[in-house]
Every structure is written in structure tokens, then in C-alpha cells.
Amino acid sequence: MINPNLELATFGGGCFWCTEAIFQEVKGVEKVVSGYTGGTVPGKPTYREICSGLTGHAEVVQLTFDSTIITYKDLVEIFMTTHDPTTLNQQGADIGTQYRSVIFNHNDRQKVIAQKVIYDLMNYFDKPIVTKIVPLEKFYEAEEYHQNYYRSNQTQGYCSFVINPKLAKLRRNHADKLKT
């Protein structure tokens, strides 16, 4: 039986490995898929093409979530407070348009909610928020080796030095929204 309360949300907050690891810990999130969207080159892009910065696509995650357990507003707040939404086309050492901070809304309701959350969080940051909100057009699932990356590679250096601190921040700031 299909759950009528399931919705989609799509976020780009730099490397999708980080964003995926964060949302896999959030209660109500049923599925997290790493992928690409927002580009201008037609057809399904490859990771190599994305890394060139020439396709215009962003690394994103697409969530399937149960809106009776977690709200879209809560997801946007988690997204905005677990990456740096004040750096243009960059997250840490990852630089390029593929690492931009972006919310791809699936409908007008999501757009309005995301705008309000960003407005409400403006004073939370020392610099202006540069996160864009744009309608989702086409989502492309990333290659299989990108899926569940953190869970499969926790001892890898990137996971230890980049993802673990973001997860610690998630656990500190959003403990009430995490799976047990």
C-alpha cells in the first residue's frame, strides 16, 4: 500500500555524500538518493561531467519523507543549519557550481516555506545567505557507488574529516528530529 503522506524534497548543499549522511539520520525520511539536477546540458550527466563544472548541474540529494512525521519546514531548517549557505559555489574545499547551496522546490508550497525559513535564519549567520530556491525540473540519480557513501566508507578520510563534524552538528542542533 502506498503511503499518501510521502513527499519529495531536493537539496544541494555541496558534496552529496555529506547531505545524504545527514538526512539518513532524520526520522520520517524514508529514502535518500544522491543525484544531479539544475544543469543546462541535456541527458543524464556522469559524475566526471559534473566535476568539470560545465554541465551546470549541482550535486543534490532527493528525499522521500513522511510529512506526518517530519515537515518540509523542518527539513529545510536542518538543511540550512548543517552546511554553509553563505558561500557561493563552495562548501569547504569543494569549489565549483556543482557544490552550490540550492533548494529545488517541487511545488509552490515548498518554495514559500523555503523562502520563509531562509528569511527567519538570516540573523543566524554572520554573512548573507546565498542559497537559491529554484523549481526542480529533472532529477538524475547518481552512479551506484555514490549511494549510501558514508555508511559504506565511514573510515575513509573525507568521511572522518568532513562528514563527521557535520553529523555532530546535526546531532547537537536537531537531536529531537533524529532516528533512535
Whether pLDDT at 51 is above 80: yes
Q: Active-site residue 15, yes or no? A: yes
Domains and CATH numbers, the chain: 6-169 (3.30.1060.10)
* Residue range 12-27, pLDDT digits in tens: 999 999 999 999 999 9
Q: How confident is the model at residue 152 (pLDDT cuts 50, 70, 90)?
A: very high
Please tell me the distance from the alpha carbon of residue 27 to that of residue 143, in angstroms, as a whole number.
25
With contact defined as beta carbons under 8 Å apart, do 7 and 72 qualify? yes
Q: Which of 15, 18, 51, 159 is catalytic?
A: 15
Whether pLDDT at 93 is above 90: no
How many C-beta atoms lie closer than 10 Å to residue 42's C-beta? Answer: 8
The C-alpha cell of 78 is what? 536542518
The C-alpha cell of 2 is what? 502506498
- Tell me the pLDDT of the chain averaged across its residues: 94
Whether pLDDT at 4 is above 90: no
